[in-house]
Amino acid sequence: MSQKQWNPEQYKKDASFVPKLGQHLLELLQPKPGERILDLGCGEGSLTLEIAKSGATVIGIDTSAEMVAVAQANGVDAYQMNATELDFEMPFDAVFSNAVLHWIKTPEKVLNAVHQHLIKKGRFVGEFGGHGNVMSAQTCLIEALNQRGIDGNKYDPWYYPSQEEYAELLDRNGFEVEMIELYQRPTPLGEDVMPWLKLFSDSFLQALPVSEHWSYLEEVARNLRLRLPKEDDEYILDYVRLKFVARKKE
Ligand code: BEZ
């Protein structure tokens, strides 16, 4: 399956809540002047720049060339790189990641790469989608493919571990878990679900010819509207986050 393509303009318009809702993670990271920190999946770099305000030297990486170009234009020292194939000569005091790790279905590879790039006792701090994340949307996307005779699960791009599962994985890969917590974060999507679906469902769309994309998305959107609660005219999606602070053991 090909890698998710990000459109920085569309992301800014329909997903600007992602870095905003990640601000609280800076308190978990506690960046300090002089530290060397890697932002894994920096996107357009807004949280990277926030971290840099501490006086730390921050480098961002992202798989998307378009996002890296925007981050660089925003003043971030950013590189196009895969989180599973980090390639830096000097180790980091800390690695940070917001809203990225659920896109990578090989979490052990990420943990190995992070482990190799941290100093001894260096910290890995992050947040991503945990067990049950956006389940309403995921179910509608999968079911609409199943109804077309396609195994929808095969096109699901997301990794949403439970707290226990990820804590165990961190431990098994050389990290001491200082804090890990799964929590519900119901998130307003705006007046309609379609912008969110268009931005995030390309993996599912790969199962279908282009001529069927729109009718598929319309069906998913119809079903999703029926499932989601609304507040002040905004649909609320069932986001679940898994946040953690882990320290390299050796
Ligand atoms: C998330 O940040 O949890 C997320 C965003 C888009 C699609 C799926 C999950």
Rounded-to-integer distance, Cα 139 and Cα 232, Å: 25
Structure tokens at 6: 């990000």
pLDDT digits (tens, 9 = 90+) for 47-61: 999 999 999 999 999
Q: Residue ranges of the domains in the chain?
A: 8-133+158-189+239-248
List 62's β-bridge partners, or say none: 80
Residue 94: φ, ψ to 5°? -155, 150
**Residues having CB within 6 Å of any atom of ligand 1:** 99, 102, 129, 133-134, 158, 200, 239
- Listed in sequence order, the DSSP H helices in 34-85 are 46-52, 65-73
Q: Is a pLDDT exceeding 50 seen at residue 1?
A: no
Give the tens place of pLDDT for each residue, 187-224: 999 999 999 999 999 999 999 999 999 999 999 999 99
Pocket test for ligand 1, best of 239, 240, 242 (most atoms within 8 A of CB): 239
Q: Which residue has the tokens 């090909």?
A: 2
Ligand 1 center to 113 CA (angstroms): 23
- Write down the pTM of the prediction: 0.92
Per residue in 27-43, pLDDT (tens digit) is 999 999 999 999 999 99
Cβ-contact 78, 62 below 8 angstroms? yes
What pLDDT, on a 0 to 100 scale, did the predictor assign at position 12?
Answer: 67
127: nearest Cα among 236, 3, 21? 21
Residue partners of 182: CB distance under 8 A and separation at least 6: 130, 131, 162, 163, 240, 241, 242
Ligand 1, atom 6, residue with closest C-alpha: 200
Please identify which residue in the block is written with the tokens 């995921």: 138
- Separation of alpha carbons 182 and 241, rounded Å: 6
- Cα of 76 from ligand 1 centre, angstroms: 23
Sorted by sequence, the CB contacts under 8 Å of residue 150 that are 6+ apart come out as 207, 208
Contacts of 119 (CB under 8 A, 6+ apart): 91, 92, 93, 248
Query: Ligand 1 pocket test: which of 127, 134, 205, 237 has the largest number of ligand atoms within 8 Å of its C-beta?
Result: 134
Residue in 133, 156, 183, 189 to alter for ligand 1 test, most ligand atoms within 8 A of Cβ? 133
d(CA 1, CA 206): 8
Is 8-133+158-189+239-248 CATH 3.40.50.150? Answer: yes
Relative to the CA of 196, which ligand 1 atom is closest? Answer: 6
Q: How far is the CA of 240 from the centre of ligand 1 (A)?
A: 9
